[in-house]
């Protein structure tokens, strides 16, 4: 079967993705007019949140089922001949044609409209960005969801921004007049000017003129006054279209020609056109599964929305009218909540939230059902207090993005043995799109009787933070005492390294001292990183990535003399591979004598503080990033923590050191330093969040001190700062380490001072101590015989381990 898709937006992408995921065996050709792959249009505004080219909204590429042709467009459909022709002159035969042409922004026919922009594609945003360079004022026509997004974008580009909405209040499709008024308050506090109940008369060269004569200076004008389905192709070839536009489809997304489907914003399904992404995804899935012969239907969609616009939560669900309503309005706090209920006040019909969307998550699944508490209790006591996961009927939809019901989640627990939120996400896809239902998922798990154990392992019933407090408060200094008094058995590879790390964080001396040595994982036990053939790699510390030629030569000589493989690491250091355990002390004797010290690449500890070259050399640099990186690396070296810690310092906003992918990243400003926390590369990349701005050197160090110590005390085992920050929330983190809401800052400061004062080089201390040196032998009964199983071959002039055959004899 040959399928052709006209259009390559989110709906087309989901259609192709569903086909591949379900083993489609035919060929697929997708023709998209934009010069790029499908991307997340919902997050469009974030395209302008960083410098050009830094924000990537592209969806994962779909491979293996045919061609994706970018920068081309279907121009005509030959229904009789079952083929389309394109702008580039191709003729593409099809067995099935899918129209996913989306919609086009509506541009009102007013004088001067030609110089206005629209807000739909990445190219539109790039054009707006270009026009905003050197501009000072902007006007957005349209105060709906997209209009406010556009206004946020203009504000972000530094323009004095006005919003003009013809209706009596902002976001008239999502909220009522009261909600619109509260929303307006929020937006005006951000410095935007709002005009409602007035239309546009004309656009002049440097201003717009409203119907009431008001003139607003406007270097940049953006239209966001609604969209129209792009149904021209369908009209021209005689397919049925609606009176106000949209390609008419049945509940299988089929048009009046059975070989042609329409999905997404161009489709008119059940008399409605949908502009939200969730229904468009559902349409795409229905069409794909119909093509594959499945009997599924699109029967309308929940148009509930929950979003954050200009930092304000706005949500609505269900019907926005009803016989009775209960309203809570706090203009001072900027909160507006309203529930619509049936005339007997027993059935929830819908609701609106502005400034606080907590009722949305818990109440939306209950629309159309009998209430378990009075409407005012639901509004005031907080929905979470009134509801538990058990209150949701089985057919209530919990995740609207992926259409998952309460019953399906219960089944994942009872039939598949799922025991945590991650498992629910994996089995059902619930909570994997917008994430707003994740708290509900946790509540449902609890209602299903799943208790999320905090026990570290079979030897301790406590979590890592609890054990940290026990050790700290009781002054325990050995694992044996801790497990005798607070645990059972003799420990394992989970609890022993955790306790070793806690003891080390609390200033327990050398990690190989006495009983502590037995707790260490092999990397900490040999102060090197084990590799696949049982050899180790060595990473000397190179603070900030700055190194003298003399030291570089020493590293080269050591590598040459011991026959080690060398590679530059991502953290601006040099890794030396292939050392046998008995070689490690000899290698380190040479390195220590040349002034190197341990890089702690083997530890759950501070790794490296990367830096760009900074203001000393770079013509753009505004601060000395290298100097700061070195100071920070030397301050925090050797600090043991729940997981590894990476850092970087960039000398200007160009961010060459990639600081926002680090646990703590520092970016220079004209006035000091911005501190970002909780970034991560790796499996689940995350940009770090801005914790504090324009800090002095001293304030920067103090804030990082507290951040690290608070993390070390309260994070779970192997929890990176990214997950930790997400768990406790940035606001709470700020309260604790900047406002000192818990009164522990002096304590955190003192703990870090103790660390800095107590630091010594682990490797120097090891090679100076005959007792610690005892472990560095190949065989206890033949200390000078190299391990005969370690064999190398040569590749690109360096050694490479010869792989050992793995057999399970």
Partner 1 sequence: MTLAPHAPAPPAAARTWTRVCAYADLLPERGAAALVLGRQIALFRTFDGEVFAVGNRDPFSGAYVMSRGIVGSRGAEPVVAAPMHKQVFSLVTGVCLDDPMAALPVYPVRVAGGVVEIDIATAGEVSAA
Q: In the range 698-757, which residues lie near partner 1 by CB under 8 A?
A: none
Quick check: 805 binds partner 1 (CB under 8 A)?
yes
Q: Which of 23, 63, 782, 796 binds partner 1 (CB under 8 A)?
A: 782
Alpha carbons within 13 angstroms on the beta-carbon side of residue 620 total 11
Q: Which of 780, 793, 795, 797 binds partner 1 (CB under 8 A)?
A: 780
Segment (H or E) for 682: none
Q: Which of 124, 232, 377, 521 binds partner 1 (CB under 8 A)?
A: 521
Nearer to partner 1, 259 or 791 (CB): 791
Nearer to partner 1, 14 or 459 (CB): 459
Contact region with partner 1 (CB under 8 A), list: 313-321, 389-397, 510-518, 617-625: 510-518
Q: Which of 317, 526, 602, 707 binds partner 1 (CB under 8 A)?
A: 526
* Min dist. Cβ of residue 775 to partner 1 (A): 8
Q: Which of 534, 716, 773, 798 binds partner 1 (CB under 8 A)?
A: 534
* Min dist. Cβ of residue 476 to partner 1 (A): 17
Contact region with partner 1 (CB under 8 A), list: 197-205, 432-440, 525-533, 618-626: 525-533
Q: Residue 353, annotated ligand binder?
A: no
3-class SS at 111? Answer: coil
Q: Which of 244, 532, 684, 796 binds partner 1 (CB under 8 A)?
A: 532
Q: Residue 427, annotated ligand binder?
A: no
Size of the site for partner 1 (CB under 8 A): 40
What distance in Å separates the CA atoms of residue 182 and residue 564, rounded to the nearest whole number? 67
What backbone torsions phi and psi does residue 30 show, to the nearest 5 degrees?
-110, 130
Q: Which residue has the tokens 């489907």?
A: 261
* Min dist. Cβ of residue 489 to partner 1 (A): 4
* Min dist. Cβ of residue 576 to partner 1 (A): 19
Quick check: 381 binds partner 1 (CB under 8 A)?
no
Quick check: 769 binds partner 1 (CB under 8 A)?
no
Contact residues for 347 (Cβ-Cβ < 8 A; gap 6+): 341, 368, 369, 370, 371
What distance in Å separates the CA atoms of residue 675 and residue 697, rounded to the nearest whole number? 11
* Min dist. Cβ of residue 524 to partner 1 (A): 10
DSSP 60: P
Contact residues for 27 (Cβ-Cβ < 8 A; gap 6+): 1, 2, 3, 65, 66
Contact region with partner 1 (CB under 8 A), list: 164-172, 345-353, 739-747, 774-782: 774-782
Nearer to partner 1, 323 or 484 (CB): 484
DSSP 471-507: HHHHT---HHHHHHHH--TT--TTHHHHHHHHHHHTT
* Min dist. Cβ of residue 458 to partner 1 (A): 7
Nearer to partner 1, 195 or 496 (CB): 496
Q: Which of 778, 792, 799, 800 binds partner 1 (CB under 8 A)?
A: 778
Contact region with partner 1 (CB under 8 A), list: 124-132, 655-663, 751-759, 785-793: 785-793
Q: Residue 492, annotated ligand binder?
A: no
Quick check: 515 binds partner 1 (CB under 8 A)?
yes
Quick check: 784 binds partner 1 (CB under 8 A)?
no
DSSP 61: P
Quick check: 518 binds partner 1 (CB under 8 A)?
yes
Quick check: 582 binds partner 1 (CB under 8 A)?
no
What letters, b where the CB count within 10 A reaches 16 and e where it falls short, cover 302-325? bbbbbbebbebbbbbbbebebeeb
What distance in Å separates the CA atoms of residue 721 and residue 742, rounded to the nearest whole number? 20
Nearer to partner 1, 781 or 794 (CB): 781
As a three-state string, the secondary structure of 222-238 is EECCCEEECCHHHHHCC
3-class SS at 627? Answer: helix
Quick check: 522 binds partner 1 (CB under 8 A)?
yes
Quick check: 350 binds partner 1 (CB under 8 A)?
no
* Min dist. Cβ of residue 258 to partner 1 (A): 54
* Min dist. Cβ of residue 794 to partner 1 (A): 20
Each residue 467-506 as x (binds partner 1 by CB under 8 A) or -, in order, gives ----------------------xxxxx-xxx---------
Nearer to partner 1, 296 or 517 (CB): 517
Q: In the range 413-472, which residues lie near partner 1 by CB under 8 A?
A: 458-459
Contact residues for 218 (Cβ-Cβ < 8 A; gap 6+): 137, 138, 139, 162, 203, 206, 207, 208
Q: Identify which of 363, 314, 315, 310 has the alpha carbon closest to the alpha carbon of residue 341.
A: 363
User: What does R_g of the chain's alpha carbons equal in angstroms?
Assistant: 31
* Min dist. Cβ of residue 451 to partner 1 (A): 22
Quick check: 578 binds partner 1 (CB under 8 A)?
no
- Tokens representing residue 759 in the block: 């630091």
What letters, b where the CB count within 10 A reaches 16 and e where it falls short, cover 690-708? ebbeebeeeebbbbbbbbb
DSSP 709-758: HHHHHHPPTT--HHHHHHHH-HHHHHHHHTS-TTS-HHHHHHHHHHHHHH
- Please answer whether residues 516 and 640 qualify as being in contact, where contact means their C-beta atoms are separated by less than 8 angstroms: no
Quick check: 259 binds partner 1 (CB under 8 A)?
no
- Tokens representing residue 9 in the block: 């937006």
What backbone torsions phi and psi does residue 559 show, to the nearest 5 degrees?
-60, -45
What distance in Å separates the CA atoms of residue 2 and residue 21, rounded to the nearest whole number? 17
Binding-site residues for siroheme, please? 656
Binding site for partner 1 (CB under 8 A): 458-459, 489-493, 495-497, 515, 517-522, 525-526, 530, 532-534, 774-775, 778-782, 785, 787, 789, 803-809
Q: Which residues are annotated as a binding site for [4Fe-4S] cluster?
A: 612, 618, 652, 656
């Amino acid at each position: 079967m040959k399928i052709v898709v006209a259009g390559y937006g989110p709906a087309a992408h989901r259609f192709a993705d569903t086909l591949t995921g379900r083993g489609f065996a035919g060929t697929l050709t997708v023709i998209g007019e934009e010069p790029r792959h499908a991307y997340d249009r919902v997050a469009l505004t974030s395209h302008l949140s960083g410098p050009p080219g830094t924000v990537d909204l592209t969806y994962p590429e779909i491979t293996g089922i045919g061609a994706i042709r970018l920068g081309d467009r279907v121009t005509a459909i030959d229904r009789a001949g079952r083929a389309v022709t394109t702008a580039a002159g191709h003729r593409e035969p099809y067995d099935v044609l899918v129209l996913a042409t989306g919609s086009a922004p509506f541009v009102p026919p007013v004088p001067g409209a030609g110089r206005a922009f629209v807000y739909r594609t990445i190219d539109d945003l790039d054009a707006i960005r270009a026009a905003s360079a050197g501009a000072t004022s902007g006007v957005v026509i349209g105060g709906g969801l997209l209009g406010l997004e556009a206004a946020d974008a203009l504000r972000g580009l530094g323009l004095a921004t006005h919003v003009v909405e013809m209706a009596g209040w902002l976001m008239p499709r999502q909220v009522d007049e009261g909600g619109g008024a509260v929303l307006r308050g929020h937006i005006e506090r951000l410095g935007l000017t709002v005009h409602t109940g007035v239309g546009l008369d004309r656009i002049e060269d440097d201003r717009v003129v409203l119907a009431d004569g008001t003139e607003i200076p406007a270097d940049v004008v953006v239209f966001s006054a609604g969209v129209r389905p792009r149904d021209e192709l369908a009209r021209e070839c005689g397919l049925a279209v609606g009176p106000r536009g949209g390609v008419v489809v049945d509940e299988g997304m089929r048009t009046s020609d059975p070989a042609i489907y329409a999905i997404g914003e161009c489709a008119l399904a059940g008399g409605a056109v949908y502009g939200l992404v969730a229904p468009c995804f559902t349409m795409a899935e229905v069409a794909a599964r119909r093509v594959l012969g499945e009997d599924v239907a699109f029967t309308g969609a929940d148009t509930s929305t929950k979003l954050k616009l200009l930092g304000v939560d706005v949500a609505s669900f269900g019907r926005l009218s009803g016989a009775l309503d209960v309203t809570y309005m706090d203009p001072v706090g900027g909160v507006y909540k309203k529930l619509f209920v049936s005339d007997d006040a027993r059935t929830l019909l819908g609701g609106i939230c502005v400034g606080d969307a907590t009722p949305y998550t818990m109440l939306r699944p209950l629309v159309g059902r009998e209430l378990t508490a009075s409407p005012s209790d639901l509004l005031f006591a907080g929905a979470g207090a009134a509801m538990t996961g058990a209150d949701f009927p089985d057919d209530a939809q919990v995740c609207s993005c992926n259409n998952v019901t309460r019953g399906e989640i219960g089944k994942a627990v009872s039939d598949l043995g799922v025991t945590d939120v991650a498992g629910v996400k994996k089995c059902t896809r619930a909570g994997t799109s917008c994430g707003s239902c994740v708290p509900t998922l946790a509540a449902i798990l609890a209602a299903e009787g799943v208790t999320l154990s905090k026990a570290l392992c079979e030897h301790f019933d406590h979590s890592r933070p609890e054990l940290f407090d026990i050790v700290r408060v009781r002054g325990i200094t050995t694992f044996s005492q801790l497990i005798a008094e607070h645990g059972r058995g003799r420990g394992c590879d989970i609890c022993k390294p955790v306790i070793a790390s806690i003891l080390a964080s609390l200033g327990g001396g050398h990690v190989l001292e006495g009983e502590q040595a037995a707790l260490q994982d092999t990397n900490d036990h040999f102060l090197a990183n084990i590799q696949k053939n049982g050899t180790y790699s060595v990473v000397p510390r190179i603070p900030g990535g700055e190194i003298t030629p003399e030291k570089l030569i020493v590293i080269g000589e050591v590598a040459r003399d011991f026959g080690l493989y060398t590679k530059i690491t991502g953290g601006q250091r040099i890794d030396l591979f292939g050392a046998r355990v008995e070689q490690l002390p000899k290698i380190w004797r040479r390195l220590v004598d040349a002034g190197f010290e341990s890089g702690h690449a083997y530890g759950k500890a501070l790794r490296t503080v990367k830096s760009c070259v900074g203001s000393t050399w770079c013509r753009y640099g505004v601060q000395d990033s290298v100097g700061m990186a070195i100071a920070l690396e030397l301050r925090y070296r050797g600090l043991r923590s729940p997981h590894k810690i990476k850092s970087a310092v960039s000398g200007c906003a160009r961010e060459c050191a990639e600081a926002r992918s680090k646990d703590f990243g520092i970016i220079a400003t004209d006035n000091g330093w911005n501190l970002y926390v909780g970034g991560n590369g790796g499996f689940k990349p995350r940009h770090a969040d801005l914790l504090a701005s324009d800090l002095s050197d001293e304030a920067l160090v103090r804030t990082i001190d507290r951040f690290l110590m608070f993390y070390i005390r309260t994070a779970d085992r192997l929890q990176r700062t990214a997950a930790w920050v997400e768990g406790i929330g940035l606001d709470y983190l700020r309260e604790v380490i900047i406002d000192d809401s818990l009164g522990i800052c002096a304590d955190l400061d003192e703990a870090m001072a103790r660390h800095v004062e107590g630091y010594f080089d682990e490797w120097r201390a090891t090679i100076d101590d005959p007792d610690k040196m005892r472990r560095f032998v190949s065989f206890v009964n033949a200390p000078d015989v190299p391990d005969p199983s370690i064999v190398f071959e040569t590749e690109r002039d360096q050694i490479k381990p010869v792989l050992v055959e793995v057999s399970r004899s």
